[in-house]
Amino acid sequence: MNKGALALLVHGGTDNWSPERWKTRFEAVCGGRPVWRIPDRDCNPADVHYAAVWKPAPGELAAFPNLRVIFNLGAGVDALMADKTLPRVPLVRISVDDLTMRMTEYVVLHVLMHHRQELYLRACQREKRWEPRVQWAANAISVGIMGLGTLGSAAAGALRHLGFRVSGWSRSPKNIAGIECFHGEGQIDAFLRQANILVSLLPFTPDTRHILNRGLFAKLNRNSPLGAPVLINAGRGGLQNEADILACLDDGTLGAVSLDVFETEPLPSDSRFWTHPKVILTPHNAADTDADEISKYVAQQIERFEAGQALENVVDSARGY
Amino acid sequence: MNKGALALLVHGGTDNWSPERWKTRFEAVCGGRPVWRIPDRDCNPADVHYAAVWKPAPGELAAFPNLRVIFNLGAGVDALMADKTLPRVPLVRISVDDLTMRMTEYVVLHVLMHHRQELYLRACQREKRWEPRVQWAANAISVGIMGLGTLGSAAAGALRHLGFRVSGWSRSPKNIAGIECFHGEGQIDAFLRQANILVSLLPFTPDTRHILNRGLFAKLNRNSPLGAPVLINAGRGGLQNEADILACLDDGTLGAVSLDVFETEPLPSDSRFWTHPKVILTPHNAADTDADEISKYVAQQIERFEAGQALENVVDSARGY
């Protein structure tokens, strides 16, 4: 029996993320299944059952009449969901432990940097000032996580382990040991009112566009040793109203922010985010993924699918993630 | 029955750490026991059974003929052990969860800062460069902890939780789940040969003076994505040979360091540590302690002692910690 082919629609990656490397990598784990790097004149589109994609051109996937599953080689599927010609077959998100652990590292690092007054301490070092300030314990700080999927739950657990009070908000109800869980529109204000550090790990959908705005920041809790609340966004740039963030940093509504994502990436050199003293900025590298782990994950899901088992991490097209 | 008095020999603290605050705090938790702030002309030295001290003058404790226990209001007892006139009664170190958790925060924060290339990323931000580098996973890094007491064990557990490979070295054999434990002079080289990030939480004793020197740094492992190894010292300044650290940073034997402690504190303004681009410096604030927690701990230990139970965390005068 011929195995259905896997088509690779990978555009724009370099080095380890180049289309050629992905082809070699998938051939190594797909046990004899044909792997085509698109475009390839020798590929018969009708043979293709699976597509692994990274930033495919709009409409490009419609060329495969027998497509059964699309795998996105990253966690965020917002760009794909915007393609109205996307074939109506299951779309699978990447969910590998490696990516989850890297995002947890990022969240823990940035929560600790704000909690432990790193912006102040680095300024002291630059100015040669030996002036320790009072340092509070982790349990004086409530970290609120927006988005309680795989990434949010793992980050919440690690922060609990370090002694922070942790709560979370998600669209649908969740139950996570040790974490106070809020959900839905009805509970978002109660969630915000008790959060001193807000961590955004939300998916980007039409519902969440610019959800991180002045109205939301103004509801955050100011009764902690931090004083003004802190925002950490490691989700998507489109979640944030960037003009609001800058204005809220300037007028004290926000005390500081860590941003890994921006509405325009790379961030333009004239952006005020580069130089604002209350901004810690990273170049969308919160959770790089190990490409080998991703290809193994895709091969595993194809095996499950062909054995008649349910695919994991299928995107709900109504919710958009 | 009269309760034996508690004498406070606290010098040099300000604000929350002032002698007056300590007196109020101890009176609140010592259930009617007389609390004297020394010097006080009304205090009869013979009534004093307990002393709680912070940087007492050499010889000062010898004034109390009926002293039964000395409590040091901090974790490090090196200054006290150097006092040859110290009465030969049990000396108790502070070991409260609060201090342990704060030290864990510091260690996790600084390991993550080096692992996640914070020195590079902050330089990029200053120079407005959007240039993400390849980021490796935590399991590519082996963190070696010198000192596996309460502080070292807790930090080791938190780093394991984040996915780092963790090993430890201590004077005497230890057994900690998930941590490769080395001990004694005989195993120190094997320990160093596999450590990429070295965390020092050693007590300061005549044996450990300047243990962090070029000979030791040269044995650390260089085969990780970090390249050159990293030193994090949150123990005591006397553990480190500061000229060696600077020379090793300059010639690449060390890639970067985080230092919370120094041979002279406050760090003199002409020290190269302030301005060295590979140095992350904090003003001996890795593990501030909650004064209320400390006074409760001392009151608890006195109760145990008077009920005939064993004191906890008694310093071994032969080892010096």
Chain segment A211-240, per-residue pLDDT in tens: 999 999 999 999 999 999 999 999 999 999
DSSP string, B76-117: --HHHHT-TT--SS-EE----HHHHHHHHHHHHHHHHHHHTT
* C-alpha Rg value of chain B to the nearest Å: 22
Least reliable range by pLDDT among A254-263, B148-157, B208-217, B286-295 = B286-295
Compute φ and ψ for A22, nearest 5 degrees.
Answer: -60, -40
How far is B286 from B110, CA to CA, in rounded Å?
10
Q: Indicate the DSSP class of residue A176.
A: B
Domain A98-281, second-level architecture: 3-Layer(aba) Sandwich (3.40)
Nearest to B152 by CA among B95, B184, B199: B199
Cβ–Cβ below 8 Å for A265 and B128? no
C-beta of residue A55 within 8 angstroms of C-beta of residue A78: no
- Residue A99 distance to chain B (closest CA, Å): 9
C-beta of residue B123 within 8 angstroms of C-beta of residue A283: no
- Judging by beta carbons within 10 Å of its beta carbon (0-12, 13-18, 19+), is residue A79 exposed, middle or buried? middle
Over residues A4-25, the mean pLDDT reads 88
* Averaged confidence pLDDT in chain A: 94
Over residues A160-179, the mean pLDDT reads 96
Which distant-in-sequence residues (6+ apart) come within 8 Å of B259 by Cβ?
A: B231, B232, B233, B240, B245, B273, B279, B280, B281, B282
C-beta of residue B141 within 8 angstroms of C-beta of residue B197: yes
As a three-state string, the secondary structure of B164-189 is CEEEEEECCCCCCCCCEEEEHHHHHH
Task: Name the residue type at position B284.
Answer: H
C-beta of residue A53 within 8 angstroms of C-beta of residue A74: no
What is the model's pLDDT at position A55? 86
Q: Which residues of B are catalytic?
A: 236, 284
Nearest to B77 by CA among B64, B94, B52: B94
What are the start-end ranges of the E strands in A23-107? 35-37, 48-54, 69-72, 91-92
When CB atoms are compared, the residue of B131, B162, B275 closest to A105 is B162
Strand B165-170 and strand B142-146: the pairing is parallel
Q: Predicted confidence band at A320 (pLDDT cuts at 50, 70, 90)? A: confident
Fold of the B5-96+289-306 domain: Rossmann fold (3.40.50)
- Tell me the pTM: 0.90
* Averaged confidence pLDDT in chain B: 94
Kindly report the number of other CB atoms within 10 A of residue B59's CB atom.
11
When CB atoms are compared, the residue of B105, B116, B125 closest to A138 is B105
- Residue A125 distance to chain B (closest CA, Å): 6
How far is B71 from B105, CA to CA, in rounded Å?
25
Query: Which residues of chain B have a CB within 8 Å of the CB of A134?
Result: 15-16, 288
What is the model's pLDDT at position A66? 96
Query: Which residues of chain A have a CB within 8 Å of the CB of B137?
Result: 98, 101-102, 290
Q: Which tens digit of pLDDT belongs to each residue from B52-98? A: 998 899 999 999 999 999 999 877 888 898 888 999 999 998 888 99
Does pLDDT of A1 surpass 60?
no
Cβ–Cβ below 8 Å for A121 and B265? no
Start and end residues for every CATH 3.40.50.720 domain found in chain A = 5-96+289-306, 98-281
Over residues A248-273, the mean pLDDT reads 98
Q: Predicted confidence band at A317 (pLDDT cuts at 50, 70, 90)? A: confident
Q: Predicted confidence band at A253 (pLDDT cuts at 50, 70, 90)? A: very high
Which distant-in-sequence residues (6+ apart) come within 8 Å of A264 by Cβ?
A: A237
Which candidate in A16, A97, A130 is best for mutational testing of the B interface (most B CBs within 10 A)?
A130
Which candidate in A103, A107, A121, A162 is best for mutational testing of the B interface (most B CBs within 10 A)?
A162
Over residues B16-33, the mean pLDDT reads 92
How many Cα neighbours within 13 Å face the side chain of A223?
A: 4
Tokens of A74: 């990253």
Nearest to B114 by CA among A32, A105, A222, A172: A105
Does pLDDT of B269 surpass 80?
yes
Q: Between vectors from CA A253 to CA A251 and to CA A259, what angle results, nearest 5°?
A: 100
- Residue B123 distance to chain A (closest CA, Å): 11
Q: Which tens digit of pLDDT belongs to each residue from A24-70? A: 999 999 999 999 999 999 999 999 999 999 889 999 999 999 999 99
What is the model's pLDDT at position B125? 98
